[in-house]
Amino acid sequence: QKVHVLPQTVLYIADAETFSGHEECHEQKKARKRNSKETAIALEKLLPKRCQVLGLVTPGIVVTPMGSSSNQPQEIEEGEAGFALLFPKIDGVKIHTFHFSKDLKNRVFDESKFAEAGLKNNPDLRVVLLFGYNSWKSGATRFLHQIVNPLNEKSIILAGGQVESFTSLTSENNNAQPGDACGVVGLAFSGPQIQSATVLLDQDVADEKTAEAAMQRLKAANIPERNTIGFMFACVGRGYRHYKTKRNMEADAFRKFFPNVPLFGFFGHGEIGCDRIVTGNFVLRECNDIKDDLLHGYTTVMTLIHLGSTK
């Protein structure tokens, strides 16, 4: 007997080669790929109308292939690749998308928008995955600070990074992406049963031994591994270039300590996160009072999100 589960929230990520069209190459219309918008529309037609969808374009991806949860995660820094995570309705867990775009008229961000997005006055908020886009635009870094700083609380895990663009954002408060604007999109996970931990691999983590030491810190958080997802957000300057041509170093280190936890993520243009755990009163390492400690470059952020026990 087949059991069909409808997704309520979908996160999909693909590298720029997969999603970027070649609209400017009119002479090769037959060879032209679908552009990002066309691909997004095609994907959304396959999903329920009320499904929240967030799609991202990045320089490279990290993915655990379908099949067994013990499949080896892969860092794909070149070539075409992508993945989609489909979250069904989960008892005791609420997942929702959000989008904040920079207002060109106002320098100060209206923090009342946090409450509208469920990111303020929400005692069950546990994890926020943040993704900045158009980070090269003037004012983009300052705007990211305005989003990250108010969320920098010990009871919340923040993780993510800078992507090239987002292709989909369907929700009740749908906002289109202005071509010349910058902003932040993301997923918020709320629910008392959610547990999470995150560690930061800084520039000094440059070999197998130090990478595995970081995973040991994550393992020490004692997050239940059943019904748990791993996320890896790495700088484009890391990967095999950083580890002196040895590929898949960080994904392999993760798998060594978490053989049954699937790992997903991307290579991007800046990272968000620090060493922190949200479960009970145990904190791996509190972020310093300087809010900017959450924003990094040339690092990797590894995150575990446990969605509660399965019946």
Residue 289, Cβ density class (10 Å: 0-12 exposed, 13-18 middle, ≥19 buried): exposed
Residue 298 has pLDDT above 60, yes or no: yes
Residue 208, Cβ density class (10 Å: 0-12 exposed, 13-18 middle, ≥19 buried): middle
Q: What is the pLDDT of residue 127?
A: 96
Q: What is the pLDDT of residue 103?
A: 76
User: What band does 6 get if pLDDT is binned at 50, 70 and 90?
Assistant: confident
Q: What is the pLDDT of residue 66?
A: 77
Q: Across residues 47-52, what is the average pLDDT?
A: 84
Q: What is the pLDDT of residue 246?
A: 83
Q: What is the pLDDT of residue 173?
A: 42
Question: Among 2-6, 72-76, 165-169, whose mean pLDDT is lowest?
Answer: 2-6
Structure token pair of residue 248: 């898949």
CA distance 35 to 19: 6
208-219 and 249-257 helices, crossing angle to 10°? 40
Residue 57 has pLDDT above 60, yes or no: yes
For 72-113, write each residue's pLDDT tens digit: 999 998 888 889 999 999 999 999 999 998 876 677 778 888
Better-predicted residue by pLDDT, 106 or 307: 307
Domain range annotation of the chain? 1-310
Q: Tokens 């320098």 sit at which residue?
A: 107
Q: What is the pLDDT of residue 3?
A: 57
Q: Across residues 46-51, what is the average pLDDT?
A: 83
Most confident option among 34-43, 152-161, 166-175: 152-161
Q: Across residues 121-127, what is the average pLDDT?
A: 94
How many residues are given for the chain?
A: 311
Question: Among 21-25, 43-47, 263-267, whose mean pLDDT is lowest?
Answer: 21-25
Residue 116 has pLDDT above 80, yes or no: yes
For 192-247, write each residue's pLDDT tens digit: 999 999 999 999 988 999 999 999 999 999 999 999 999 999 999 898 888 887 88
Q: Across residues 50-78, what is the average pLDDT?
A: 86
All residues at 6 or more sequence positions from 305 whose CB lies less than 8 Å from its CB, including other chains: 127, 157, 189, 194, 195, 196, 228, 229, 231
Better-predicted residue by pLDDT, 170 or 33: 170
* Average pLDDT of the chain, as a whole number: 84
CB 168 within 8 Å of CB 55: yes
Q: Across residues 19-24, what is the average pLDDT?
A: 51
pTM of the predicted structure, to 2 decimals: 0.89
- Residue % of the chain over a pLDDT of 90: 49
Q: Across residues 108-135, what is the average pLDDT?
A: 90
Q: By three-state DSSP, how is residue 303 classified?
A: strand
Question: Among 5-9, 59-63, 97-101, whose mean pLDDT is lowest?
Answer: 5-9
* Run of H or E including 145: helix 140-151
Residue 161 has pLDDT above 50, yes or no: yes
Q: What is the pLDDT of residue 191?
A: 94
Q: What is the pLDDT of residue 206?
A: 87
